[in-house]
Structures are given as C-alpha cells and as structure tokens.
Chains A and B, each alone.
Chain A
C-alpha cells in the first residue's frame, strides 16, 4: 500500500471514483487548472477533461445550486467549497433544496451530491479560513455528514459519499492535510457512512472526538494515567450510536472533544444521546472540551481556542475523580 497524506488520499478517491463512474464530476473554485488550493483535485482536469472537472465562477451558492440541476440531469456532482467558511453562502441551497428535494418527490428522486470542504483550524490562516461549522450541516435534515481523521478514512468516506444516494458533506480537517502520512489501500476503498472507529481501547474513560480532535484525544489518552478508550465518530450523521454506547457501557465515563464553539455544537448531541440511553452506565457527568463561543481567533492565539491535549487530560482527570 502506498503511503499517502490525507489530501493525497482525497485525490486518490476522486481519481478512482471518476474512473469507475462516468457520471461523477468535480466542480468548484480553482479545482481544474490549479488543482485546488490544497491540490485535492490535482491532475483531474488533464485526466478527465473540462466537462468533468469544472472551474466554476466564484459563487458557492451557484456551485451547489447548479449541482442540484446537474443531479437532476443524471450527474453525481462533487462540489468543492474552497474553505469551510466560504461554504456559508451555499447554506441557502443546502437548507432550502439539497436536503429537501428527495423528500419533496416522495422519495422518488435521488440527489447524489457530495460537498467537500476543508475544515477547522490549526493552520495559521486569516479570518474565516479556520471555522468548524459541522453543526449547521448536521442540523439540516436530508444531509449526511462525515469527518475523517486519517488518510485511509478520508479516501474511504469520500468514496462512500460519492456513491451514496443521499447528499453528503465531507469535511476534511485541513490541519491533517499534509501530515501524518499512512498506508492507504490502492484502488477501490470504501469506509461505510455511519460507522465510528475505536482508535484505542481502554476501560476507564471514553474520549469521543472527530476530525482534527482525534489526535488531540489520542495524545491525552497516552498521557492519562488511567486507561482511556478513544472513539473517532467519523460520521456525525447518521451517528453510530451503538459504538458510542458500547464504549460508555464499558467505561462509565465520557469526555467529548470538539473544536467548534460550545453551545449547540455536535458534542451536545452526543451528550444528550448518552443522557438518554446510557444514564445508568454513567459514573459521572458527560464533559465537553470545546472551542469557545467566540469567533475563531486571530491565528497568533489560535492554540488557546483549539482544545489541547492538556485540556482534555484535565477533563478526564476531573471525571475520574468525580
């Protein structure tokens, strides 16, 4: 298996899926000639031509809006939003149409649209290049949301998203784009949507994370003197409740790590799930380690905003001594 970075794995998935299915097309800002600002789509224009790798006007709502019509015409569009924060204009299309159109046809018509975007901070970029807006997408009915934390999962989840009959938002943690590398299966590789991954087994506390926070949770787990299990949620919607509940049934303790602002973030949904379905397993409160309810800061102080292993460790120790 070749060693790949996460962004190389994304590129690999696009190549494989476009080769496999002639209806798959990639569209977005600078995805063609430039190969994408992160090079996720490099080489696709040369290989598949300008009809299937389309440099679009700079208009995110137009990208997603035309993707709806393209899907109606039999295409499987893979839309790139250049940065997560640039995706905000497309929320109008996402909420008003992408998530509703299938329902609006009594289930008769499929809208196999994939929306890819880099997400999260940690890369010292200007304002509105480092948000974590997954909750907006998760909250929209009709949309699935996945966030990989490894190159292999990025490839497999993207392939699954492209093949899904439902619209899927795939958020790629940009802090992981260029490192670390890992061996990624060649050719067709699928990671099913809706399955979490047990990153590390443990008995005393479950650290639940996704995207860029998985590595933070892992580091905290290594430093913790007790035995910590780390779960990578991978797909936020549909959520793999079974894996989360099984882990908490074993450990009795849960710390949720989320880079996004705290209030009504996805961690709150997991906490509610545990309150509803694991209350008798819990030996202490479900704790959240999150970003703050403030705009993502200027990058010179971004490390103060992004949950650190030390903050996760502190929460885990507090919970263990509850």
Chain B
C-alpha cells in the first residue's frame, strides 16, 4: 500500500528550462486552467510583495513572507474543489484569496484588526494557524468527519518542514492513516525553520519518507514547479476521494526571503544560494513556460499584474478605512453563552 518515491532523483517536475530540460505537460489542464494558475500566482506574489511594503510603512504588523511559495499554494489549490477545506499555516495566510476572500480580510488579520477573523464555512478555509503543526489534526478530523457523513469533500493541511518535527504532525498523520481520512498533508519544505536547516530537523533522507512510517503514500515534488505540484496534489485528492486515505506531499523549494519581516537571515543563510534560487523562482519559471507554449504575451502579463496591483490597492484602502475595532470585543466571543 505505501509507496515512497526515492529520495534521490525522485522529485517530480513538469516545467523544463527551455534548454537541456524539456517541458512536460499535465494531462487534462486546459489553456484556461494554465492561465488561471498564472493569475493565482501573480495575485499571491503581489499580495506578498505589497505586504512587505505595507509592513515597512507601518500599515500592517509583523508579516510572514511567502515569496517563492506561490507555485506550491496555487498548484495545490487548483487540485481542490469548492467543498474541500483548506487548513493554512501563517505561511499560507493569503490562500483564501483564491477562494474569493477579500484582500482586506487578510490584510486586516495582519493588521491585528478583528475584521481579519472570518467564518471558516464561508470560504472552506480554516483560521490561519499560528502555532506549528497543531492544525494538522484539525484537517484530519474534518476529512474524517466528512467521510463519516458520506460526503466526498477532503481537506488539505499546509505546514512547513519544521512542522514535521512536532508531535501534532505525527499524531495528525497517524490518525489520518488509521482513520483512512481523505486528507492531503502538504509540506512546503523550503529548507529552513527560521534559522534551522532541514538537515538539523531530521535524519530522514527526505520528509516524504516519513509517510512510509504511517502507511500512507509519500511523494516528492519540485515546489517551484506549479504544474508538478498540481499534478501530485491532484493524485492525492483522487486517492482521498476514492476512499484510499491520506497522502503526504513534500514540495521542495528554497526559502529566498526572510522567515518574516522581523527576521534577518544574513546571520545564517548563504546569500549566494539565495541569489541563485531567486533567479529561478517559481513565477518566472512558469511565465517562461507559458511564453514557450505561446499562451502568454507582454500585454497579458501587464494586465494580470495591473489587476493584482489594483486588488491590493483597493484592499489596503479598505482596511485602512475600517472603523476602529469595538473595544468591547476584548470580552466577547470566547463563549456562546
């Protein structure tokens, strides 16, 4: 039952480099899908870059940067259906935008304004999990609960490489396998948990290898390749819907940005490696791929970028126009009665 893609040479990839590595393709994706993925990545990238600026301008608080994670988020998201629930960590704070959540809601969250809380049922997006890995069992419980009710919905939990050291990850993964829960455990392995490299997190050759211990399939995919991420997640979703239980997806990338606006990685990171990785970042890779396919030209690039910038411009204006929160809220909402 359990399959583990070998650590060496086993990383899935679709997008080539236009030279030695040929492009692949993912069956079933239409041109419209491919452009939708592009729009999603640009929206996330724009959200992230503008948020760093907003933070510097004092318009939002400390912000967890996800620059370079857009392919992992948009690619995996595209494999979901509307009824599937998303359990984000703070690194996926803006993933709700892909479900129609207003930009100002996410900005309000980072601004510390109660308008940044939402009803998870409205978007099928759980609250942003600030503690590490403790939301993994929530996704498992949700998927399990829907299965018990005879529904076909599944759940995806996003977490980082550091989270795989937490007990909550282990308990969640084990419960998922034992209960046959329709869940995708999506690990965005960007190589760093603040200053701790993944080599100091585990002696496992890959994080996907951990799946074998739970008796579930584990796959490893190039996290900078939006199509490979989509493809691997789509397989995991299909497995979940077929009643074959959870999958651990390890998407591998390299963190090219600080952990958060409060972090200065110069003390611990190899800046040359960062520069090399930035040159091959996921949005640029995908854009070049689409250009090679003839699906993307300058005017579309410009209009998609303009649309995303406008969304952020109106979003920050909306959040700044919010009335000050009601001070009475400090004592409300902990209890229903």
Residues of chain A at the chain B interface (Cβ within 8 Å)? 25, 51, 56-57, 59, 61-62, 64-75, 89, 92-93, 96-97, 99-110, 141-142, 144, 164-166
Which residue from B118, B145, B172 sits with its C-beta under 8 Å from A62? B172
**List of B residues within 8 angstroms of A100 by Cβ:** 334
Indicate the member of B118, B119, B137 with the most A CB atoms within 10 Å.
Answer: B137
Question: By the criterion CB–CB under 8 Å, are B137 and A65 in contact?
Answer: yes
Which residues of chain B in 149-206 are interfacial with respect to chain A, using CB atoms and an 8 Å cutoff?
Answer: 149, 155, 167-168, 171-172, 174-175, 178-179
Nearest chain B residue, comparing its CB with the CB of A77: B141
**List of A residues within 8 angstroms of B175 by Cβ:** 56-57, 59, 62, 65-66
Nearest chain B residue, comparing its CB with the CB of A108: B119
In the bound complex, how far is the Cα of B67 from the Cα of A151, in angstroms?
Answer: 58
Nearest chain A residue, comparing its CB with the CB of B332: A107
Question: By the criterion CB–CB under 8 Å, are A104 and B134 in contact?
Answer: no
**List of B residues within 8 angstroms of A142 by Cβ:** 334-335
Given contacts A62-B137, A73-B144, A93-B134, 19 further A-B contacts (CB under 8 A): A56-B175, A57-B175, A57-B178, A59-B171, A62-B168, A65-B137, A69-B137, A69-B139, A69-B140, A71-B141, A72-B138, A73-B146, A74-B149, A102-B334, A103-B333, A104-B117, A107-B332, A108-B118, A108-B121
Number of interface residues of B (CB under 8 A): 40
Query: Given A57-B174, A104-B117, A109-B120, is A69 in contact with B144 using a C-beta cutoff of 8 Å?
Result: yes
**List of A residues within 8 angstroms of B29 by Cβ:** none
Task: Please give the distance in Å from B25's CB to the nearest CB on chain A.
Answer: 36
30 A-B residue pairs with Cβ-Cβ distance under 8 Å, sorted by A, are A56-B178, A57-B171, A57-B178, A61-B137, A61-B171, A65-B168, A65-B175, A66-B138, A66-B140, A68-B141, A69-B140, A69-B141, A70-B141, A70-B144, A70-B145, A72-B85, A72-B141, A72-B145, A73-B149, A75-B148, A96-B134, A101-B127, A105-B118, A109-B119, A142-B334, A164-B337, A165-B336, A166-B335, A166-B336, A166-B337
Task: Please give the distance in Å from A65's CB to the nearest CB on chain B.
Answer: 3
Residues of chain B at the chain A interface (Cβ within 8 Å)? 85, 114, 117-121, 126-127, 131, 134-146, 148-149, 155, 167-168, 171-172, 174-175, 178-179, 332-337
In the bound complex, how far is the Cα of B171 from the Cα of A59, in angstroms?
Answer: 7
**List of B residues within 8 angstroms of A72 by Cβ:** 85, 120, 126, 138, 141-142, 145
Indicate the member of A72, A106, A166 with the most B CB atoms within 10 Å.
Answer: A72
Question: By the criterion CB–CB under 8 Å, are B121 and A59 in contact?
Answer: no
Question: By the criterion CB–CB under 8 Å, are A102 and B171 in contact?
Answer: no
Query: Given A65-B172, A97-B138, is A75 in contact with B334 using a C-beta cutoff of 8 Å?
Result: no
In the bound complex, how far is the Cα of B142 from the Cα of A109, in angstroms?
Answer: 14
Question: By the criterion CB–CB under 8 Å, are A65 and B138 in contact?
Answer: yes
**List of A residues within 8 angstroms of B127 by Cβ:** 101, 104-105
**List of A residues within 8 angstroms of B168 by Cβ:** 61-62, 65, 92-93
In the bound complex, how far is the Cα of B126 from the Cα of A93, in angstroms?
Answer: 15
Nearest chain A residue, comparing its CB with the CB of B140: A66
